[in-house]
Amino acid sequence: MKKKDLLEAIANKVGCTHKTAQSVLREFQYFSIQELKKEGSVSLLGVGTLKISKRSARTGINPATKMKIQIPAKEVPRLVPSKKLKDIVSGKVTDIYATFEY
């Protein structure tokens, strides 16, 4: 799904304008990223938790030259899926809306 399709679906489902949906999505992205940088994790209810993982330094191979290269350690974001998301994807749960009551 592309961003345009997502915004259209949100606007239609919630009954708001495309601009309002775009503003809400933008703020959600902004606050999620800020929280991830500040706290190291963000809980996305019903979806999972975004966490920062540390990748160790390692040796790799440059595909163009076939020479060994050192790949430095770095921090990367990763999503740890929630049990709800796993159950929906595996087909154990068929009524998605019933699982997202808060």
Question: What confidence score (pLDDT) does residue 40 get?
Answer: 92
Would 80 be classed as within a structural domain? yes
Asked if residue 50 lies in contact with residue 76, where contact means CB atoms within 8 angstroms, the answer is no
Query: What tokens were used for 21?
Result: 């949906």
Distance CA 21, CA 7 (A): 6
How high is the pLDDT of residue 60?
96
Predicted local distance difference test score (pLDDT) of residue 102: 56
Domain assignment present for residue 48? The answer is: no
- Position 46 scores a pLDDT of 83
What is the pTM for the complete model shown? Answer: 0.71
Within a domain: 92? yes
- Find the domain containing 13 and state its range: 1-42
Domain count, the chain: 2
For each successive 10 residues of the chain (102 residues), what is the average pLDDT? 93 94 95 94 91 96 96 96 91 77 60
Is 49 contained in some domain?
no
In-domain check, residue 62? no
Q: What's the confidence (pLDDT) of residue 99? A: 65
Question: Residue 61: inside a domain, yes or no?
Answer: no
Residue 42 amino acid letter: V
Q: How far is CA 96 from CA 39, 48, 58, in A?
A: 29, 15, 41
Asked whether residue 63 is domain-assigned, the answer is: no
Q: Rounded CA gap, 63 and 7, in Å?
A: 39
- Describe the crossing of helices 18-39 and 3-14 by its angle, rounded to 10 degrees: 110
Provide the pLDDT for residue 101. 63
How much is the pLDDT for 30? Answer: 96
Whether 2 is in a domain gets the answer yes
